């Protein structure tokens, strides 16, 4: 039996993971910034699940949630950093008032929640699941701020995997493609400033064209995430869905092409060996 602390449980993968973990008999601390949105989530599971408020942008809030997990269940085995949202728009279109809060949640919130949980995880080991995205593998026009945030999650997660291996703590970077959650509804915002100059790369109509038509089944994705958490040989990177794999393969091919094309020129920038 594992004890899960999950952020962003009001919807999407966070909510589904909390339910799936409790259904199989695990203990769950389900959290959300607005705890009223998840209060009824725990009712079917008796004492196996508790719900707590957790604003990931508030370091004190994260510490309180971790302390409550220890008080209630004795510790944390799995931390899931799921809270986040997207901002779409060209880089020139975005404003600090729009993109800074997104980084506060997606990047700095993940950092603060992880830092709050690490003293507990280091004592007994465990798993940190960081929800990235196919957007964390490859950048595209019209979504630069969201790509940047998810690229940051990737870098933080890779560094954590190295730092925490001696403590028996694993890191799992989950990289979903488009899945049929409500992400394209409540979890996406658009830059208010729309510039006609960027019409060719705009993703402003992505939501209307794709919401409800995503290829990915979120329940199947949750089952794979849980399988990876339980596995002894789980990968660091876990792309989910055909689209995410296509993105990863395209990025690897492009990267390899760049490296090969300029290899002789670029490696000649070291000092000459006397």
Whether the model pTM is above 0.85: yes
Question: Are 93 and 205 in contact, with CB atoms under 8 Å apart?
Answer: no
More confident residue, 29 or 11: 29
Per-residue confidence at 186, pLDDT binned at 50, 70, 90? low
- By annotation, the residues acting in catalysis are 132, 146, 150
Share of the chain above pLDDT 90, in %: 86
Q: Which pLDDT value is given to residue 211? A: 61
Whether pLDDT at 210 is above 80: no
Domain boundaries, the chain: 3-269
- Residue 46's pLDDT band (cuts 50, 70, 90): confident
Give residue 273's pLDDT.
Answer: 85
Written as one string, the DSSP assignment of 3-42 is EEEES-TTSHHHHHHHHHHHHTT-EEEEEESSGGGTGGGG
Asked if the 3-269 domain carries CATH number 3.90.1200.10, the reply is: no
Residue 43 is predicted with a pLDDT of 93
State yes or no: pLDDT of 126 exceeds 90: yes
Place of tokens 């993109």: 99
Region 201-210 average pLDDT: 71
Task: Determine the Cα angle at 139 with ends 137 and 143, to 5°.
Answer: 120
d(CA 200, CA 197): 8
Q: pLDDT at position 223, please?
A: 96
Residue 128: strand, helix, or coil: strand
């Amino acid at each position: 039996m594992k004890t899960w602390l999950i952020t962003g449980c009001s919807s999407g993968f966070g909510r589904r993971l909390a339910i799936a973990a409790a259904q199989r008999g695990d203990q769950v601390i389900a959290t959300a910034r607005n705890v009223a949105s998840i209060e009824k989530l725990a009712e079917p599971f008796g004492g196996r699940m508790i719900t707590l408020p957790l604003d990931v942008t508030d370091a004190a809030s994260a510490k309180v949630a971790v302390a409550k997990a220890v008080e209630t269940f004795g510790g944390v085995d799995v931390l899931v950093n799921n809270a986040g949202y997207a901002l779409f728009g060209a880089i020139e279109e975005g404003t600090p008032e729009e993109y800074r809060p997104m980084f506060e949640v997606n990047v700095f919130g993940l950092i603060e929640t992880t830092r709050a949980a690490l003293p507990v995880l280091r004592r007994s080991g465990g798993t940190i699941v960081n929800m990235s995205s196919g957007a964390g593998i490859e950048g595209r026009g019209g979504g630069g701020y969201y790509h940047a945030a998810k690229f940051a999650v990737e870098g933080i997660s890779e560094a954590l995997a190295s730092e925490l291996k001696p403590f028996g703590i694993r890191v799992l970077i989950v990289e979903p493609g488009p899945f049929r959650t409500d992400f394209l509804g409540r979890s996406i915002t658009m830059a208010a400033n729309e510039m006609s100059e960027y019409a060719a790369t705009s993703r402003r109509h992505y939501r209307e064209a794709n919401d409800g038509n995503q290829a990915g089944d979120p329940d199947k994705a949750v089952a794979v995430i849980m399988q990876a958490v339980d596995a002894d040989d789980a990968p660091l990177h876990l792309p989910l869905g055909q689209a995410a794999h296509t993105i990863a393969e395209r990025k690897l091919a492009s990267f390899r092409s760049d490296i090969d094309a300029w290899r002789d020129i670029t490696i000649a920038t070291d000092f000459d060996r006397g």
